[in-house]
Chains A and B, each alone.
Chain A
């Protein structure tokens, strides 16, 4: 038995999302089982059925030096914005 990951598109035009997986001996069975498990109630307009080994996993996200300025939440603008407004004379507290 192999494991196949199933991605489901709810309606034409929207992105495929991971739905779950099926265990099947080969591609034909995987296709049929995915069709029954993730499509028989009309909940999908299309499926992608992918052997699990074909998926390249990337999960090593080290941040040893805490370079939080790479992230949106690591670069707070609120204080800097207030400061700039102060300088420009458009501070909210004055208006």
Chain B
């Protein structure tokens, strides 16, 4: 994955996870958590927006974008962040299956995903923060400062649910999805962190890999883009 592809994958993960987590707005187990969780979900969408903006601002200036050939994937031809977020076909999204799964009303899986996702996201953000491209490194550092609170939130829930069987089995269940979402360079660190009983086979990882979407993805995509598609080309 080159850096541009990685950025698109990160942005798509953040957008889709923000969407999935916002499904808890109004129905979280307690009011305070409702506010906190919705706020985190909104932050993730904000991160996606910032990365999409960076990607489109770059796409005119050289390697892709305005100069992209007609047959190039539409992700390289979009003119603004909204287009990139909502005007692609479902198969063009680079989101991972971990973030696409729908968990409402299962809080144990929802929190397990947050814990796993934040751990994997921290590793890849760390790599982006040392990018030779100052705009990328700067944006990654900005995002990371906000993610620090998301990690704090995930860690306190992890600590609270550490003896809860439903949470522990959700972590086991979703660990393969997490490895499939992460860069191979980060697998060792994630295995050391979560110490899974068994490591997923390459066949499993391939099936869960980016590009293969989760079962509920077409419905989620349809819902996410519904308003945008209702009046194509409109100025909102």
A→B interface (CB under 8 Å): 1, 22-26, 28-29, 32-33, 35-37, 40
Can you list 16 A-B pairs with a CB-CB distance of less than 8 A? A22-B32, A24-B32, A26-B160, A28-B159, A29-B32, A29-B156, A32-B149, A32-B152, A32-B156, A33-B32, A33-B35, A36-B35, A36-B39, A37-B35, A37-B36, A40-B39
Other-chain contact of B36, A25, A26, A28, A32 (Cβ < 8 Å): A32
Chain A residues with CB below 8 A from B153, complex form? 32
Complex Cα–Cα for A34 and B118 (A): 21
Q: Taking the complex as formed, is B31 at the interface, i.e. its CB lies under 8 A from any CB of chain A?
A: yes
Min CB distance A23 to B, Å, is: 6
Complex Cα–Cα for A29 and B35 (A): 13
Question: Are B149 and A35 in touch, CB under 8 angstroms?
Answer: yes
Complex Cα–Cα for A40 and B135 (A): 25
Give B136-177 interface residues, CB cut-off 8 Å to A: 149, 152-153, 156, 159-160
User: Known contacts being A32-B153, A33-B32, is A25 close to B160, with CB within 8 Å?
Assistant: yes
Q: Taking the complex as formed, is B30 at the interface, i.e. its CB lies under 8 A from any CB of chain A?
A: yes
User: Chain B binding site: helix, strand, loop or mixed by DSSP?
Assistant: helix
Min CB distance A14 to B, Å, is: 24
Question: Smallest CB-CB separation from A27: which chain B residue?
Answer: B156
Question: Smallest CB-CB separation from B152: which chain A residue?
Answer: A32
Q: Which among B32, B35, B39, B156 has the greatest number of chain A C-beta atoms within 10 A?
A: B32
Complex Cα–Cα for A37 and B156 (A): 17
Besides A23-B32, A29-B156, 4 other CB < 8 A contacts? A23-B30, A32-B149, A36-B32, A36-B39
Chain B residues with CB below 8 A from A33, complex form? 32-33, 35-36
Min CB distance B160 to A, Å, is: 7
Complex Cα–Cα for A32 and B39 (A): 12
Complex Cα–Cα for A1 and B160 (A): 13
Complex Cα–Cα for A81 and B33 (A): 60
Question: Are A23 and B39 in touch, CB under 8 angstroms?
Answer: no
Give B199-214 interface residues, CB cut-off 8 Å to A: none
Question: Are B149 and A37 in touch, CB under 8 angstroms?
Answer: no
Complex Cα–Cα for A70 and B69 (A): 85
Complex Cα–Cα for A35 and B39 (A): 11
Min CB distance A55 to B, Å, is: 19
Complex Cα–Cα for A29 and B159 (A): 11
Min CB distance B125 to A, Å, is: 20
Complex Cα–Cα for A1 and B32 (A): 11
Complex Cα–Cα for A59 and B159 (A): 39
